[in-house]
Amino acid sequence: MRLGNSLLTLAAGLSTVFASSPGELSAPTLFRRNGTEDLQAFKGAVLLKNGEQTSCEVALMYSTFGFVSAACLDFTDDTAKTVNMSTSYEVMISGGLTSSYGRFRASRVTPNPNYDPASYANNIAILQFDSNGDDFVNYIASWRADWANMYFVRRSLSSAAGGAWNQPALTTYNSNLDMADCAKANTLFMYNQNDLICNQLTTTSIMNATCSIPYASMYGVIDPNAAIAAIYSHSAVYGQGNFCNGNKIYNYYIVMQNYVHWAMSVIGKKAPVFHTRIAEYTENMDANYSMTIPGNKNVESVLVYGGDLYHLNTTMTGDEESEEKGGLSTGAIIGILLGLLALLALLGYFIHKKIKERLASNRVRRWWFFGRFEKEEKPEHFDPQMTDPNDPHRPSAYPVQF
């Protein structure tokens, strides 16, 4: 979808906005909505790993700091506590739409200490990277109740080596999705609906035109302003396969507002956020904030994907995890048991048939045996005419019978 056709030109005029200014920086610059220029006003960024483009967008805060999905990082173990720094992490920053701002090496990577890779809870990390000496600020929309609408955006590079950007894919969205369906597909969302945004929106992958993948970031629209508010976390996909098979897909985006104070503890200064001046606004001051991590992380017949969608990672269901570890899945065990029961039933049938045949044969033999004694025994009859007249031993007279 072309950016120019995806946005409405809204009424001019700025709403009253409260900005949590970084202190040493000037007051926030909030951008008037003007169709295709909405994203032109914001610097966007994509994570590179070992020089290759990923699908992971970096939500910039300052010219040297930004949020990224923790699932996009490489770790030294399954606990996802230690980042593998042998991987080269870089941040490619755009100047707006298709212009390039620069490419910078990440010097420090900090995943959230409560990140749970099995469920994608607290799937967020902070990158610290080099700069060209030019300071800038990107503000985070910090209050969900503000957002009259949402922009879902995917930025991508046509050439990572050359730093050439594609036109961003963007759609305007105001969710009418049934949250019960989102919760049914993913237990993390079931327990943390204020921390995640769910939708079924996808856009064509630059790696495979036959596949559609989720958008990478979300901007909260606070008429007439907009600011980045969430980044892609993970997807729940029904059935076998991934984003290329036309399966039912639910996508989840982690809202950054509850991780602002954790970010401040990492970067050592105030995070740039803004929201409208409404008395109901409350700020989460907990630097160790965590989502509720569900005990049962798997949903039957659902695959969970996260991280770099150009090089897919999956969180397997219990059945698939058993198969991966060399065990048998629940379905396979049930199938084997049913097969054994069928075999036993067939064996029982043949045994029963054989026993019946044996019993029938025994009855025939028994009657034959007793029948021998019931037959009338006839005495042998001596027929003298049967003797040979030329037999020299033929008696001349027969014995007298008394």
Number of Cβ within a 10 Å radius of residue 92: 22
Question: CA-to-CA distance for 205 and 44, rounded, in angstroms?
Answer: 18
Regarding whether 95 and 130 lie in a shared domain, the answer is yes
Which pLDDT belongs to residue 9?
33
Question: CA-to-CA distance for 324 and 346, rounded, in angstroms?
Answer: 33
Regarding whether 207 and 157 lie in a shared domain, the answer is yes
Regarding whether 359 and 273 lie in a shared domain, the answer is no
| Tokens read off for 98 | 């298709």
Regarding whether 341 and 317 lie in a shared domain, the answer is no
Which pLDDT belongs to residue 365?
55
Nearest to 305, CA basis, from 233, 245, 240 = 233
Regarding whether 301 and 170 lie in a shared domain, the answer is yes
The answer to whether the Cα torsion of 119, 308, 64, 25 is positive or negative is negative
Which pLDDT belongs to residue 267?
96
Which pLDDT belongs to residue 400?
45
The DSSP result for 86-154, as a single string, is: TS-EEEEEESSSS-EEEEEEEEEEEE-TT-BTTTTBT--EEEEE---S---B--EE--GGG-SEEEEEE
Asked whether residue 221 is assigned to any structural domain, the reply reads yes
Percent helix / strand / coil, the chain, rounded to 5: 25, 30, 50
Nearest to 62, CA basis, from 36, 35, 15, 23 = 23
Regarding whether 214 and 183 lie in a shared domain, the answer is yes
Which pLDDT belongs to residue 345?
78
Name the domain count of the chain.
2
CB within 8 Å of 242: residues ≥ 6 apart: 211, 303, 305, 312, 314
Which pLDDT belongs to residue 343?
77
Question: CA-to-CA distance for 232 and 44, rounded, in angstroms?
Answer: 14
Which pLDDT belongs to residue 4?
38
Which pLDDT belongs to residue 71?
97
Nearest to 42, CA basis, from 126, 182, 174, 141 = 141
Collapsed DSSP state (helix, strand, coil) of residue 197: strand
Please give the radius of gyration of the chain, using alpha carbons only, rounded to the nearest integer.
41
Which strand (E) or helix (H) includes residue 184?
A: helix 179-185
Residue after which a domain boundary falls, among 291, 321, 351: 321
Which pLDDT belongs to residue 391?
56
pLDDT tens across the length of the chain (402 residues): 333 333 333 332 323 344 554 444 433 444 444 434 567 778 899 999 999 999 999 999 999 999 999 999 999 988 888 999 999 999 999 988 888 999 999 999 999 999 999 999 999 999 999 998 889 999 999 888 888 889 999 999 999 999 999 999 999 887 667 789 999 999 999 999 999 999 999 999 999 998 899 999 999 988 778 899 999 999 999 987 778 877 899 999 999 999 999 999 999 999 898 888 777 788 889 999 999 999 988 899 999 999 999 987 555 444 444 444 444 444 556 557 767 777 787 777 778 777 777 776 665 555 544 555 455 555 555 455 555 556 555 555 544 443
Distances (CA, A) of 289 to 2, 86, 151: 38, 29, 26
Our measurement of the distance from residue 78's CA atom to the centroid of its chain's CA atoms, rounded to an integer in Å, reads: 17
Regarding whether 186 and 82 lie in a shared domain, the answer is yes
Regarding whether 188 and 44 lie in a shared domain, the answer is yes
Asked whether residue 262 is assigned to any structural domain, the reply reads yes
Edge-to-edge strands, sheet with 59-62: 52-57, 45-49, 89-94, 100-111, 125-129, 65-68, 59-62
Tell me the pTM.
Answer: 0.72
Which pLDDT belongs to residue 133?
82
Which pLDDT belongs to residue 378?
52
Asked whether residue 392 is assigned to any structural domain, the reply reads no
Regarding whether 253 and 349 lie in a shared domain, the answer is no
Regarding whether 145 and 52 lie in a shared domain, the answer is yes
Asked whether residue 399 is assigned to any structural domain, the reply reads no
Asked whether residue 186 is assigned to any structural domain, the reply reads yes
Residue after which a domain boundary falls, among 321, 336, 353: 321
Asked whether residue 208 is assigned to any structural domain, the reply reads yes
Regarding whether 347 and 300 lie in a shared domain, the answer is no
Number of Cβ within a 10 Å radius of residue 184: 15
Regarding whether 305 and 338 lie in a shared domain, the answer is no
Full domain range(s) for residue 340: 328-366
Asked whether residue 380 is assigned to any structural domain, the reply reads no
Collapsed DSSP state (helix, strand, coil) of residue 273: strand
Asked whether residue 385 is assigned to any structural domain, the reply reads no
Residue 196 belongs to domain with CATH number: 2.40.10.10
